[in-house]
Amino acid sequence: MSDKIQTPRGTFDVLGDAARARDELERTARGILERAGYERIETPTFESTALFARGVGESTDVVQKEMYTFDDGGGGSITLRPEGTAPVCRAYVEHGMHKLPQPVKLWYLGAYFRAERPQHGRYRQFWQVGAEALGSDDPAVDAESILLLAEILEAIKVSPVRLRISSLGTPATRAEYKAELQTYLRSHEDRLSGEVRDRIDLNPLRAFDADHPGTQEVMRAAPLLLDRLTDEDREHFETVKALLDSAGLSFEVDPTLVRGLDYYTRTVFEFTSDALGSQSGVGGGGRYDGLVEQLGGPPTPGMGWAAGVERILLASPPPPTAAPPLDLYVAYAKPEYRRDAFKLAADARRAGHAAELELGGRSLKGQLKSAQRAGARYVAILGDEGTALKDMESGEQRVIQIDTVMHHIRTGL
* Residue ranges binding ligand HAM (CB under 6 A): 83-85, 114, 116, 122-123, 126, 128, 130, 132, 260-261, 281-286, 288, 304-308, 310-311
Least distance to ligand HAM, CB of residue 142, Å: 11
Q: How many other C-beta atoms lie within 10 A of the C-beta of residue 54?
A: 19
Alpha-carbon distances of 279 from 160, 227, 285, 351, 409, rounded to whole Å: 14, 29, 16, 48, 50
The closest of 309, 271, 258, 261 to 121, measured between CA atoms, is: 309
Query: Which of 82, 204 has the CB closer to ligand HAM?
Result: 82
The closest of 335, 289, 318, 297 to 158, measured between CA atoms, is: 318
Least distance to ligand HAM, CB of residue 98, Å: 18
Euclidean distance between CA atoms 112 and 81, whole angstroms: 6
Query: Which of 42, 72 has the CB closer to ligand HAM?
Result: 42
Query: Which of 43, 367 has the CB closer to ligand HAM?
Result: 43
Query: Which of 305, 329 has the CB closer to ligand HAM?
Result: 305
Least distance to ligand HAM, CB of residue 347, Å: 45
φ, ψ (nearest 5 deg) of residue 249: -95, 125
Least distance to ligand HAM, CB of residue 259, Å: 6
Least distance to ligand HAM, CB of residue 228, Å: 22
Query: Which of 146, 382 has the CB closer to ligand HAM?
Result: 146
Long-range contacts from 403-409, C-beta under 8 angstroms, 24+ separation: 405/328, 405/344, 405/348, 405/380, 406/347, 406/348, 406/351, 406/353, 408/378, 409/327, 409/328, 409/348, 409/353, 409/377, 409/378
Euclidean distance between CA atoms 312 and 220, whole angstroms: 31
Query: Which of 132, 356 has the CB closer to ligand HAM?
Result: 132
> 51 by DSSP, 3-state: which?
helix
Query: Which of 84, 204 has the CB closer to ligand HAM?
Result: 84
Sign, Cα dihedral of 274, 278, 284, 290: positive
DSSP states of 309-324 as a string? HHHHHHTSPPPP-PPP
Least distance to ligand HAM, CB of residue 331, Å: 45
Closest residue to ligand HAM, judged by C-beta, is: 308
Least distance to ligand HAM, CB of residue 134, Å: 10
